[in-house]
Amino acid sequence: MPRLLSVSEAARLLGAKPKDVSDLFYCRELRDDLCPIVAGRRLIPEGYVETIAAALRRRGRPVRHGGGA
């Protein structure tokens, strides 16, 4: 089973702000069906972090690395 991350954990891996990651979901740039909200927390599969990094780059946000945890 893939490891699941919170928005904060994914942001920390990328050196990004959690708000910037959350905004990508809010604006529908990232897929809700792959990263559902469960008990008030968004669950992000570890393998989706690379996609988040690419979306942040498209928005001109700083990203530490590609995201491979």
Lowest model confidence (mean pLDDT) among 6-10, 23-27, 60-64 = 60-64
Query: H-type helices in 1-69, by residue range?
Result: 7-14, 18-26, 49-58
Compute the distance between CA of residue 62 and CA of residue 34 in angstroms, rounded to an integer.
Answer: 24
| pLDDT for residue 22 | 97
CB count in 10 Å sphere of residue 44? 26
Domain ranges of the chain: 4-58
Chain centroid to CA 47:
10
13-50 residue pLDDT tens: 999 999 999 999 999 999 999 999 999 999 999 999 99
Say what the pTM is.
0.88
Per-residue pLDDT for 6 more than 80? yes
Lowest-confidence region among 8-12, 23-27, 48-52, 63-67 = 63-67
